[in-house]
Amino acid sequence: MKKIEDIFNFTEISDSCIKCGKCIPVCTIHNINRDEVTSPRGFIELLGEYKEGKLELDRGAKDIFESCFLCTNCVDICPNSLPTDMVIEEVRADIADRFGIAWFKRLFFTLLRHRKLMDIMMKFGYTFKSCGFKEDTQRGGIIPRFPMPIIKSDRLLPSLSKVSFLNRYPEEIDNGGKRRVAIFIGCLANYNYTTIGDSLIEISKKLNINLFIPKKQMCCSAPAYFTGDFYTVEKLSKQNIEYFESFIDEVEAIIIPEATCSAMIKHDWEIFFRNRGMEDWANRAKKLSRKIFMATEWFEKFTNLKEILAQGGVKFQDRVTYHDACHAKKVQGVYREPRELLSQNYNIVEMSDSNRCCGFGGVTMQSEKYHLAELAGIPKAKMIEESGAEVVSAECSACRVQISNSLYQSNIDVVFKNPIELIADALKGSR
Ligand code: SF4
Ligand code: SF4
CATH number at residue 180: 1.20.1050
| pTM of the full structure | 0.94
CA distance 233 to 222: 7
Residue 287 lies in a domain: yes
Q: Are residues 326 and 401 in the same domain?
A: yes
Confidence (pLDDT) at 5: 61
Determine if ligand 2 sits within 6 Å of the CB of residue 40: yes
350 and 251 assigned to the same domain: no
Closest-lying ligand to the alpha carbon of 89?
1
Give me the pLDDT at residue 94, please: 87
Q: Are residues 16 and 81 in the same domain?
A: yes
**If you measure from the C-alpha of residue 230 to the centroid of ligand 2, how many angstroms do you get, rounded to a whole number?**
27
What amino acid occupies position 20? C
**Is residue 50 domain-resident?**
yes
Write down the pLDDT at residue 13. Answer: 84
| Identity of residue 295 | A
- With residue 417 as reference, give the H or E element that holds it: strand 415-417
Give the whole-angstrom CA distance, residue 51 versus residue 32: 27
Task: State which of 276, 298, 320 marks the end of a domain.
Answer: 298
Q: What sign has the CA pseudo-torsion 83, 406, 232, 332? A: negative
CB contact set of 76 (below 8 Å; sequence gap of 6+): 26, 330
Residues 380, 318 share a domain: yes
End-to-end alpha carbon distance in the chain:
50
One domain for residues 78 and 46: yes
Both 190 and 149 in one domain: the answer is: no
Domain span at residue 406 reads: 311-428
Atom of ligand 2 nearest to the CA of 24: 6
Same-domain pairing of 35 and 121: no
Whether residues 149 and 169 share a domain: the answer is no
Tens-binned pLDDT, residue by residue, of the chain (431 aa): 556 666 677 778 888 899 999 999 999 999 999 999 999 999 999 888 887 788 888 889 899 999 999 999 999 999 998 999 988 988 888 889 889 999 999 999 999 999 999 999 999 999 988 888 998 888 889 999 888 877 766 899 999 999 999 999 999 999 999 999 999 999 999 999 999 999 999 999 999 999 999 999 999 999 999 999 999 999 999 999 999 999 999 999 999 999 999 999 999 999 999 989 999 999 999 999 999 999 999 999 999 999 999 998 899 999 999 999 999 999 999 999 999 999 999 999 999 999 999 999 999 999 999 999 999 999 999 999 999 999 999 999 999 999 999 999 999 999 999 999 999 999 998 66
Q: Is the CB of 76 under 6 A from ligand 2?
A: no
Atom of ligand 2 nearest to the CA of 81: 2
80 touches ligand 2 (CB under 6 Å): yes
Distance from the alpha carbon of residue 69 to the mean position of ligand 2, in angstroms: 17
Residue 319 sits in a domain whose CATH number is 3.40.50
412 and 331 within one domain: yes
Burial tier of 240 (Cβ tally within 10 Å: 0-12, 13-18, 19+): buried
Over its C-alpha atoms, the chain yields an Rg (Å, rounded) of 21
pLDDT of amino acid 54: 84
Inside any domain, residue 304: no
Residue where a domain stops, chosen among 56, 74, 99: 99
Asked whether residue 149 is assigned to any structural domain, the reply reads yes
Which residues are CB-neighbours of 194 under 8 A, at least 6 positions away? 161, 163, 164, 165, 168
86 CA distance to ligand 2 middle (Å): 15
Which amino acid, 30? H
In a domain, 262, yes or no: yes
Strand partners, 392: 321, 416
In a domain, 303, yes or no: no
Nearest-angstrom CA–CA distance, 392 and 400:
9
Testing ligand 2's pocket by substitution, the residue of 14, 39, 41 carrying the most ligand atoms inside 8 A of its CB is 41
For residue 44, give the ligand 2 atom closest to its CA. Answer: 7
Residues 276 and 214 in one domain: yes
Q: Examine the domain organization and report whether 177 and 212 are in the same domain.
A: yes
H helix intervals, 266-391: 269-275, 279-289, 295-302, 305-312, 326-332, 336-342, 363-366, 370-387
Ligand nearest to the CA of 43: 1
Ligand 2 atom closest to residue 22's alpha carbon, by position in its atom list: 1
Number of separate domains in the chain: 4
Name the nearest CA neighbour of 183 among 77, 91, 299, 67: 299
| Nearest by Cα to 69 from 265, 261, 326, 406 | 326
Least Cα distance to 70 among 213, 207, 268 occurs for 268
Q: So what's the pLDDT on residue 174?
A: 98
Domain boundary among 272, 298, 324: 298
User: Distance between CA atoms of 298 and 381, rounded to whole angstroms?
Assistant: 29
Claim to verify: residue 64 and residue 78 sit in the same structural domain: yes
**Which residue type does 121 have?**
M
- Tell me whether residue 258 is in a domain: yes
Ligand 2 midpoint to CA 22 (Å): 6
Give the CATH number of the domain where residue 85 resides: 1.10.1060.10
Residue 39 lies in a domain: yes
Centre of ligand 1 to C-alpha 140, Å, is 30
Residue 419 near residue 296 (C-beta atoms within 8 A): yes
